[in-house]
Chain A
Amino acid sequence: MAFGPFLLLALMEGLVTAAILALAASGLSLVFGVMRVVNVAHGEFYMLGAVLAWAVTTMIPGPPAMAFLAAVLIAPLLVAALAAAADGLILKRLNYDPEATIVATIGLLYILQQAALSLYGPNANPVAAPFTWRIQLPWFGYSGYKLFVVLAAILVLLALWAFMTRTRAGLVMRATQVDRTTAQAFGINVDRVYMGTFALGAGLAALAGVLIVPVQQAQYLMGHDPLLLSFIVVIIGGLGSLRGTLIAALVIGLSDGVISMFFTPTLAKILATLLVAMVLVFRPQGLFGAKA
């Protein structure tokens, strides 16, 4: 294969990574933006989405498309409910203290991972894609499902944007983000906003997990990489800024695809993690964020 088509393939793979990353990272960014909570267990919500997608598709008989549709609806809802419970039982009692919540979500990470290992097992299991057609380019064939993932992510993110800017619930969330105390004084039930935000963030991660599982298989350790990459994206994009998160997801996803294809994935990750550390040290508001 010549260099041009090779680069095209790398970019397309990178676009899929970017789409998944944008979904997962927007959840993380939302939770940090509104609640000021760094959720270390975010990758596990992604993993749970994938594992539950496997569970749902194996339990529901019928054509793969139907089973997958059911998984897309059920898995994120279950994960969101779990996250809401975790918020009420743990985070709320800690008064959302930034450092204490990090320790608590690390604990949650271990608990969820162990639960997945004990109940689901150490094996990676595939989930059938809802459809199998391929797009034939002059140089190589490409999975139509992967392009569907990109499209679906764009639609979900547009819906999220509309939700945050055009609905009353979104307005309430943004009000809480700007000033928690004043929002409370205006009669906003901050506890409920926090619970909803945490559930929504987890649901977005789970949705990303469901969408990726036909490409990647479900495994109990699969949450590590997305957690790290989501952190990278959210920090480079500016903590709490949704627009920055999306741009950063695109940049990181595409460059990850290209660097992984031409060099090694390990080198790509080393460079990305160092970049994040340096950004936080020298430009804490992020590369795209205007203000902290």
Chain B
Amino acid sequence: MKPWILHIALIAVLATAPLWLSPYHATNLARIMVLAVFAMGYNLAFGYTGLLSLGHALLLAAGMYAAGLPAQLWGWAAGPAFIAGIAGGGLIAAALGLLALRTAGVSFMIVTLMFAQAGYLTLLYFAHVTGGEDGFAVVSSGRVLLGSDLSTDTPRFLAALTIFAIGLLASLALVRSPFGRTMVAMRENEERSRMLGYNPFTVKLAALTLSGLYAGAAGAAYALLFGYVGASFATIQYSILPMLYVLMGGAGTTLGPFLGALLMFALIEAATVLTTAHQFIVGAALVVLILFAPKGILGTIRERWLRWLP
């Protein structure tokens, strides 16, 4: 029971945030929640199933374009466009998994990296449709959900919170389910799970597809809430970011992705006063985390004190 109370309490606290945060910070928080959904998806693949992908930007961009392009070209409303975005992320993830999951370890990392790079270059190649590196602003008619305009502060925050809450609770339910245990079994010992009668390929494919649904939802939400779609979201940077969030918050913890996204965002925001060298902070954080705290913040807390933390 304790994990559910903790997660619902976090969502409740976040729901009150617009009351005690300035509109600027509330919008940032909405952005963090959307990116945290992306990182939660990454965590399902990397943290729980042990699939270290370097190509998740492809899945984010798939959701983004699958939502943004129909809105732009055929005038879809926000609801159908969002669903198209989720489906886009899941479909591309399944296709990626069918090929990439034939490999493992370092090869898997490089294959996912290469497919994501090919996807990014394809977006540039068809720049007359996708807008290429410059991207395009999503038309305002495509950003209306149930009569409320998602480009205004309150509906945007509520939409981001809803997606985040559903994503968080779904991931909690998932990792506590039998299938979630099977995912962890793949991470811990693939051969032994195979011997127990599980098919590693289908389990990993399902985990990666779920991860793609999350990434697609995050991409679609980003396009519809912040009104911008561009090929820059398909670059390697956006494959590294969720990895960084998850490593910082704690791989294989349900709250880690959000905590990592929040801390990283705050760290860069705070450092902006001192320096414009954002990349340096990202790089140093990666090196320090992998050297001294490979389990991340919540992973360490779980190991030392709170054994029940999911």
Residue positions of A touching B, CB distance < 8 A: 38, 90, 93-94, 98-100, 102-104, 106-115, 117-118, 228, 231-232, 235, 264, 266-267, 269-270, 273-274, 276-278, 280-282, 284
User: In this complex, what residue of B is CB-closest to A109?
Assistant: B283
Chain B nearest CB from A266 CB (Å) reads 5
Across the interface, do A90 and B110 meet the contact criterion of CB distance under 8 Å?
no
Q: Which A residue's beta carbon lies closest to that of B114?
A: A277
Contact between B287 and A277 (Cβ–Cβ < 8 Å)? no
| Residues 277-300 of chain B, each 1 if its beta carbon lies under 8 Å from chain A, else 0 | 111101111110011001000000
What is the 8 Å Cβ interface bit string for chain B, positions 64-104, against chain A (1 contact, 0 not)?
00000000000000000000000000000000000110110
**Are A273 and B118 touching (Cβ within 8 A)?**
yes
Assess A273 versus B106: contact at CB under 8 Å? Given A94-B290, A107-B283, A107-B284.
Answer: no
Min CB distance, A95 to chain B, in Å? 11
A114 to B280, CA, bound (A): 6
Interfacial residues, chain B to chain A (CB-CB below 8 A): 52, 54, 99-100, 102-103, 105-107, 109-111, 113-115, 117-118, 121-122, 124-125, 240, 243, 247, 277-280, 282-287, 290-291, 294
**How many Å lie between the Cα of A103 and that of B52 in the bound state?**
10
Known: A93-B291, A94-B291, A106-B240. A235 touches B110 (CB 8 A): yes
Q: A104 CA to B284 CA in the complex, in Å?
A: 9
Q: Assess whether A281 is in contact with B286, with CB atoms less than 8 Å apart.
A: no
Task: State whether A118 touches B111 (Cβ < 8 A).
Answer: no
List, in ascending order, chain B residues with CB within 8 A of A284's CB.
103, 107
Closest-CB distance, A111 to chain B (whole angstroms): 4
Taking a contact as CB atoms under 8 Å apart, the answer to whether A104 and B286 are in contact is yes
- Cα–Cα, bound, A98→B277 (Å): 28
The answer, among B52, B111, B115, B287, for a CB contact under 8 Å with A107, is B287
Are B283 and A110 within 8 A (Cβ)? yes
Kindly identify which residue among B110, B283, B284 contacts A280, using a CB–CB cutoff of 8 Å. B110
Q: Is the CB of A264 within 8 A of B125?
A: yes
Residue of B nearest to A292 (CB): B107
Q: Is the interface of A mostly helix, strand, loop or mixed?
A: helix
With A and B bound together, what is the CA distance between A292 and B271 in angstroms? 45
Most chain A beta-carbon neighbours within 10 Å: one of B105, B110, B243: B110
Q: Contacts A94-B291, A235-B110, A270-B125; is A280 near B103 (CB within 8 Å)? A: yes
A280 and B122 form a contact (CB under 8 A): no
* Residue of A264, A269, A277, A280 with most partner-chain B CB within 10 A: A277
Q: Whole-angstrom distance from the CB of A274 to the nearest CB of chain B? A: 5
Contacts of B52 in A (CB 8 A): 99, 102
Q: Give the nearest-CB partner of B283 in chain A.
A: A110
- Which A residues are in CB contact (< 8 Å) with B284? 107, 111
Task: Please measure, in the bound complex, the distance between the C-alpha atom of A111 and the C-alpha atom of B110, giving whole angstroms.
Answer: 21
Q: What is the minimal beta-carbon distance from A225 to any residue of chain B, in angstroms?
A: 11
Q: A108-B283, A114-B277 are in contact. List 7 more A-B contacts (CB 8 A).
A: A99-B52, A103-B247, A111-B287, A270-B118, A273-B117, A274-B114, A278-B99
Q: What are 19 of the A-B contact pairs (CB < 8 Å)?
A: A93-B291, A94-B290, A94-B291, A102-B109, A107-B286, A107-B287, A108-B283, A109-B283, A110-B280, A110-B282, A111-B279, A111-B287, A114-B279, A231-B110, A264-B125, A266-B125, A277-B100, A281-B103, A282-B102
Known: A266-B121, A284-B103. A100 touches B114 (CB 8 A): no
CA distance A202 to B245 in the complex (A): 29
Contact A269-B290, Cβ < 8 Å, known A114-B279, A114-B283: no
In contact, A115 and B280 (Cβ under 8 angstroms): yes
B97 nearest CB across to chain A (Å): 11
State the CA gap A147–B17 with chains docked (Å).
Answer: 64
Q: Say how far B247's CB is from chain A's closest CB, in angstroms.
A: 7
B110–A106 CB distance below 8 A: no
- Given A273-B117, A277-B114, A280-B114, also A98-B285 (CB < 8 A): no
